[in-house]
A and B are shown apart, each in its own frame.
Chain A
Amino acid sequence: MSTVAIVIAISSFLLGTLLALLTIPVLVWLERRIASLIQDRLGPNRTNVFGFRLGGVVQSFADVVKLLLKEEYYPSHIKMGKWLFMLAPVITFAAALLAFMAIPFADTLHINGEALRVQALPIDFGVFWYLAVGAIGVLGVIFGGWLSHNKYALLGASRAGSMVISYELPLGLSILAFIITYDTIDFNAMVQWQSGVFFGFLPAWGILVQPLASIILIVSLFAETNRNPFTVAEGESEIVAGYMTEHTAMKFAMYFMGEYVAMNTASAVIITVIFGGYQIPWVSTEMMLQNFSVFAGVLMITVPLIVALLIRWMRKNNTVRPTVTTDSGRNFETKVLTIALLAMTALIEVILLYLIFFAESTLANSITVMLFQIVVFVAKLMMFNIFFIVIRWTVPRFRYDQIQHLGWYYLLPLSLLNLFITALVVVGVSS
């Protein structure tokens, strides 16, 4: 292994871990702000560190401090298995975190004949990894619910377990349809397949090639991650807080964070399998590498435009009402952030100029493309996370029997039918 290989391996592992962990506060903040947006209020926006509010993200860090300092409370009726009661949230969290590790963040780097995967875990059977490790997560819910020795927790746990069992089938069958279409179980190869063109002008994204399987995949992933409209396991209108009724402080926070990591992982799987992953439509990695100067030029135009829009939006919105006299450091924050953004843009421009006119090595070019793909991946990930959140705050919760009915009577036959048609079409095309 060369030095570059080691650096890439370590940095992609760090990227995977940080992307999974650091999105939790951002997602909590997004959840609260989008909920407020939908309910016509503002949401958390005042917590600050030296005047820096960052739109309210700081609130999530304050929440973390609160949850860490809260009293650890154990229900006295839990006589045995306290260790498993404490371990259960960790199982859920760790499974969700591990499942995220198989997602590719950028295309495989080819450096001096070495193929380096930009993946936290460089494996070529990512789909199976996700299905296998993601299924462990529900065990934490079941253990926690059973060991709480509480009727509500028991009901929540059994609901979660039976829901996962009934939605694992449509999930697996819809992913099987994608495996047949793409002819691979490697997430990265799936993304590469989607960089082509479909019907001559459409991008060959999974949602256009396999619309039915895509919808089934999205619905079953909503159920797998316990997100609305499938939150019966913690339905607070019926069973208090479901499986986490007896979990307090950091144990509750582990379940909570596990849910967000699972949602993040589900979004990553959805964009990787059906929305072209880290690629922008119509443009494949080879195309960017071959026409690198054109690609860099387009970047040099678009990055300042986006930054200018962002700064304008921030200047307009990061203010207080005219009736309030003290601005509590908002102008200062705007000023500092504007300078930081401008400096960052200038740095990017200088690097791109250098790469276009002076650099000769292809290594720097491929690393630039890799970074661009990571940015595209994160942007798509966040968009899909926002989709998850908007669904949560607009669609009411299903009743439990409706969920089972939907899973067994509609999704399972539809996914079987879709699998049959896919196999027929693929055999017909290949013969």
Chain B
Amino acid sequence: MLEISIFSILALFMIGGSIAMISNKQTVFAAFGFLVAMIALAGLFAMLNSQFLAIAQILVSVGAVVVLSMLTILTVNAQSKSLPQEPNKTKWIILTSILVAPFTILLYKTLTTLPDHFSTMETINTKVLGKEMFSHWVLPFEILSILLLSAMVGAIVIARKSKKKEDNTTQTNSRERSRP
């Protein structure tokens, strides 16, 4: 009973955070909703006895993603009036909700069976995870590493190119501006 109540509280926080994230016009509150949702998700992982996954969730989603997005918000300073106008937003939300409605059966199945696993789930500690990752899942792990590396290199290449262009444009702009 205790587990189910904690689960419901975490799930409520997660749903509330997610809704706040997609519906809020102020970017900072959207980021806060994302933060709440991610911490609640980490709590759900912890309830399934995979504490390492919970901590990794906080480390990656909160420590990296939310901090970086907040930094973007700080530098961009997006006002709610400069965001794109979405007059049919509520209509779209209702339409897509109807479209994904059949999948709620899956959700229902998961939600009804999930609390049974809280106590019976085998504890996934770091040792088990590490051994599994480097024996059974070593090929996917390496492929993922290469993928991430290529993504990083790609990001650096894109950033350098755009920087050069920006430099040129700013130079021309300043020249144009300096002309009377």
Which of A's residues lie within 8 Å of B, judged by CB?
A: 80-81, 84, 123-125, 128-129, 131-133, 135-136, 138-139, 142-143, 145-147, 154, 157-158, 161-162, 164-165, 168, 185
- Binary per-residue interface labels of chain B (139-170) against chain A in the complex, 1 for a CB within 8 Å, 0 otherwise: 00000000000000000000000000000000
Within 8 A of A (CB), among B44-82: 51-52, 55-56, 58-59, 62-64, 66-68, 70-71, 73-75
Q: Are A142 and B74 in contact (CB under 8 A)?
A: yes
B26, B35, B71, B75, most chain A CB atoms within 10 A: B71
Q: Are B73 and A146 in contact (CB under 8 A)?
A: yes
A145→B77 CA distance, assembly (Å) = 13
Chain B residues positioned under 8 Å from A143 (CB to CB): 28, 32, 70
Q: Are B26 and A80 in contact (CB under 8 A)?
A: yes
A80→B32 CA distance, assembly (Å) = 14
Q: Are B74 and A157 in contact (CB under 8 A)?
A: yes
Separation in Å of the A190 CB from the closest CB of chain B? 14
Chain A residues positioned under 8 Å from B71 (CB to CB): 142, 158, 161-162, 165
A157→B63 CA distance, assembly (Å) = 16
25 interchain pairs (CB within 8 A)?
A: A80-B26, A81-B29, A84-B29, A125-B51, A125-B125, A128-B52, A128-B55, A131-B63, A132-B56, A132-B62, A132-B63, A135-B59, A135-B67, A136-B62, A136-B63, A138-B67, A139-B66, A139-B70, A146-B70, A146-B73, A146-B74, A147-B28, A158-B74, A161-B70, A164-B67
- Is B126's beta carbon under 8 Å from chain A? yes
Top 10 nearest A-B pairs (CB, nearest first) are: A135-B63, A132-B59, A132-B58, A158-B74, A161-B71, A142-B70, A128-B55, A132-B55, A125-B126, A146-B28
| Interface of chain B: mostly helix, strand, loop or mixed | helix
Chain B residues positioned under 8 Å from A135 (CB to CB): 58-59, 62-64, 67
Separation in Å of the A92 CB from the closest CB of chain B? 13
A133→B62 CA distance, assembly (Å) = 9
Chain A residues positioned under 8 Å from B63 (CB to CB): 131-132, 135-136, 168
Q: Are B59 and A142 in contact (CB under 8 A)?
A: no
Q: Are B28 and A136 in contact (CB under 8 A)?
A: no
Q: Which residue of B lies closest to A126 (CB)?
A: B55
Q: Are A128 and B56 in contact (CB under 8 A)?
A: yes
A129→B74 CA distance, assembly (Å) = 27
A161→B70 CA distance, assembly (Å) = 8
Q: Are A81 and B55 in contact (CB under 8 A)?
A: no
Q: Are A123 and B67 in contact (CB under 8 A)?
A: no
Chain A residues positioned under 8 Å from B52 (CB to CB): 125, 128
Q: Which residue of A lies closest to B66 (CB)?
A: A139
Separation in Å of the B67 CB from the closest CB of chain A? 6
Separation in Å of the B87 CB from the closest CB of chain A? 22
B28, B58, B67, most chain A CB atoms within 10 A: B67
A385→B26 CA distance, assembly (Å) = 40
Chain A residues positioned under 8 Å from B70 (CB to CB): 139, 142-143, 146, 161
Q: Which residue of A lies closest to B27 (CB)?
A: A146
Separation in Å of the B35 CB from the closest CB of chain A? 7
Separation in Å of the B58 CB from the closest CB of chain A? 4
- Binary per-residue interface labels of chain B (98-141) against chain A in the complex, 1 for a CB within 8 Å, 0 otherwise: 00000000000000000000000000011000000000000000
Q: Which residue of B lies closest to A154 (CB)?
A: B74
Chain B residues positioned under 8 Å from A123 (CB to CB): 51
Q: Which residue of B lies closest to A81 (CB)?
A: B29
Separation in Å of the A97 CB from the closest CB of chain B? 15
Chain B residues positioned under 8 Å from A157 (CB to CB): 74
Chain A residues positioned under 8 Å from B29 (CB to CB): 81, 84
A128→B29 CA distance, assembly (Å) = 27
Q: Are A161 and B74 in contact (CB under 8 A)?
A: yes
Chain B residues positioned under 8 Å from A168 (CB to CB): 63
Further 5 A-B residue pairs, CB within 8 A, beyond A132-B55, A136-B62: A81-B26, A128-B55, A139-B62, A158-B74, A161-B71
